[in-house]
Structure 1
Amino acid sequence: MTATALPIPGTFGPDVLRHLDAQLESARRLLQAVLHQSQAIRARNVDGVLAHLGTIQAEMERRSLLERDRTLVLTRAGQALGVPAHAVTLEAMTALMDPATAEAARTRSTELRGLLAEVGQQHHLNRALMRQELAFLGHLVGMLGGAGEDGGYRPPAEPGGSMRVTLGGVGATGYQTARRVLDLEV
């Protein structure tokens, strides 16, 4: 960035603020969806969990459109600054805005980072809750299908690990048999 960067004539600053406002609205909707999904998980409301998952997926699709807009804003700023779009930072962009707009952009950006961090933390918690619920379900299914024999309740050893629940029993040959009833990647 050059030390003599001047504000871009026209609507650049307001366009950046509009984009950040759209990002904030999207992040708030996403946060509400993951919080409601958490409530549904805790209530063991499968339909609610799935409904909120649909809401989250729809919001993520909307966010992909916002990413396209973000790329356009960064490209425009990069051209004005003489750097590639991927190298543009918010601080560099603020050099292209009047001081009041630059401060508003910084404030919105800070709020957006906080919201997205909260969404990420809640999503991580939701995944852990789901792993716990599925492991408990596996324990129950194992008890029912294994004539009361089960190795105990065990959540997956690590995040992102797989969980396999089987129903088993003693077959006609006298050997333990197993049928796969639930295979999930978490």
Structure 2
Amino acid sequence: MSTALAAPARSPLGDAVLAHLQVQLESASALLQACIAQYRAIRDRDVEQVLARMADMQAESERRGRLERERTVLLQHAAGRLGIPAHTVTLEALNTLLDPMTADEARQRSAQLRGTLNELQRQHQINRVLMKQELAFVEHLTRMLTGGAGVDDPDTYSRPGTPAAMGRPGGGAGGYGPSLRGLDLQV
């Protein structure tokens, strides 16, 4: 007869945590793939694909909003069991409620999720810079084709409420909105 102790069984909370982390990871991966596809579209100057990928990212962002609400419910449940406020629940605190195998798997999925989100943020920043460069190029071409007129020219795009008019007194946003610049790599 063996005297080895059996590993604790997985709990419904553990299953819910792992399932939630998996769905979060799939969502973040979908966002990253859309962001990479958008990079290619920007680079290829394919406006339709840029807009299509933007729509994909918007839809996934809305899904992530629902996931965040589900995460809040999980944290509130764990907080009740731990006897602490929900906003103070950490993965390590949550893992004290889980069996060791589930806790280890939760750590792994959480680390993978953080890595995916970091890569998503990096790719998004690259896309922003590339898009600003492309827009600066379009502005430059517009100036060349109009004989020097550009967004700062009072006769070009000067309807109230338009981006060019926003930077001039009386142009919108109380008359003193941000002025547009040709190339601004500040993020």
TM-score of the pair, normalised by structure 1? 0.78
Read off the aligned partner of 2:113 and give its amino acid letter.
L
Go from structure 1 to structure 2 and tell me whether the alpha carbon gap of 1:82 and 1:167 turns closer, same or farther (over 3 Å shift).
closer
- Whether the 8 Å contact between 1:40 and 1:46 is mirrored in structure 2 is yes
Equivalent residue for 1:100? 101
Structure 1 residues 95 and 13: CA distance shift in structure 2, 3 A = same
Say if 1:84 and 1:96 are closer, same or farther in 2 by CA, change over 3 A: same
The residue that corresponds to 1:127 in the other structure is 128
Q: How many pairs align?
A: 156
Q: How far does residue 178 in structure 1 lie from its aligned partner after superposition?
A: 2.7
2:45 aligned residue: 44
Counterpart residue number, 1:183: 163
Q: Compute the TM-score of the two structures, normalised by the length of structure 2.
A: 0.78
Structure-2 residue corresponding to 1:74? 75
Shift of 1:183: 2.8
Listed as ranges, the gaps of 5+ residues in structure 1 are 1-6, 151-164, 169-176
Gaps of 5+ in 2: 1-7, 165-179, 181-186
Whether the 8 Å CA contact 1:8–1:80 is kept in 2: the answer is: no
Deviation at 1:121, TM superposition (A): 0.6
Does residue 13 of structure 1 match 2:14?
yes
Match of 1:166 among 140, 146, 151: 151
C-alpha contact (below 8 Å) 2:42/2:130 kept by paired residues: yes
Identical aligned residues as a percent: 49
Letter in 2 for 1:183: P
Partner of 2:88: 87
